[in-house]
Amino acid sequence: NAGVTQTPKFQVLKTGQSMTLQCAQDMNHEYMSWYRQDPGMGLRLIHYSVGAGITDQGEVPNGYNVSRSTTEDFPLRLLSAAPSQTSVYFCASSYYRGPTDTQYFGPGTRLTVL
Amino acid sequence: AQSVAQPEDQVNVAEGNPLTVKCTYSVSGNPYLFWYVQYPNRGLQFLLKYITGDNLVKGSYGFEAEFNKSQTSFHLKKPSALVSDSALYFCAVRDPGGNEKLTFGTGTRLTIIP
């Protein structure tokens, strides 16, 4: 299994540009989520999904959109990038059997918005 | 609301000495607690978790953690530190009565000095 994969690894955007961060998993996990990691702030949940066709907002959803058309893929869209969105983004997945489940993380995407 | 505190941003330990990385939590009920490790330019890797039962939990790479309900703590420990243990460590908590949301601490950078 490849586990959780993310593309691209690095991205530089100009303010106002849009882009999509890709996330895929091959473990048949129902639950997928996006986090951003900023220095001194740990990881903060942006959006999550408990299955295909179902998404919900996390702690910091503003400026981001998600969709979940398949079990495997969970892309994160930035419609109009802002410098405040400069961060490292992690996708994670787990089975949806309950809160004891372990989340598996992708390698991350480092995004810089100029 | 659930929360996690990692009071030390940085911990330095000599190689071969025991190490402790501190974590305290706040949840409304009995917590589910997790430790993750992040190596440079990598995603988070699961180390161990406490769900119920024995207060001493053993995990990957020789790490263990002790759950202390009265002190609301879940400190990560290792009897003999290796240089390869140098990394960023995150404690996380999940409310058993809530959803899948995982709340992370701000992280502790562990440096093992040869």
* CB-CB under 8 Å, A43 with B104: yes
pLDDT in tens, A36-61: 999 888 899 999 999 999 999 998 99
* CB-CB under 8 Å, B106 with A40: yes
pLDDT for position B97 = 63
* Chain A residues close to B98, C-beta within 8 Å: 99
Q: Identify residues of B whose CB sits under 8 angstroms from chain A CBs.
A: 4, 9, 32, 34, 36, 41-46, 49, 51, 90, 94-96, 98-102, 104-107
Place B62 in a pLDDT band, splitting at 50, 70 and 90: very high
For A38, the closest chain B residue by CA position comes to B106
Mean pLDDT of B84-99: 85
pLDDT, mean over chain B: 92
Task: Give the whole-angstrom CA distance, residue B93 versus residue B101.
Answer: 9
Task: Give the whole-angstrom CA distance, residue A37 versus residue B48.
Answer: 21
Beta-carbon neighbour count of residue B92 at 10 Å? 24
* For the ranges A56-60, B8-12, B29-33, the one whose mean pLDDT is highest: B8-12
Q: What is the DSSP string of B41-108?
A: TS-EEEEEEE-SS-SEEE-GGG-EEEEETTTTEEEEEESS--GGG-EEEEEEEE-TTS-S--EE---E
For B91, the closest chain A residue by CA position comes to A42
Mean pLDDT of B98-110: 84
Mean pLDDT of B14-23: 98
Torsion of CA A55, A59, A63, A69, to 10 degrees: -10
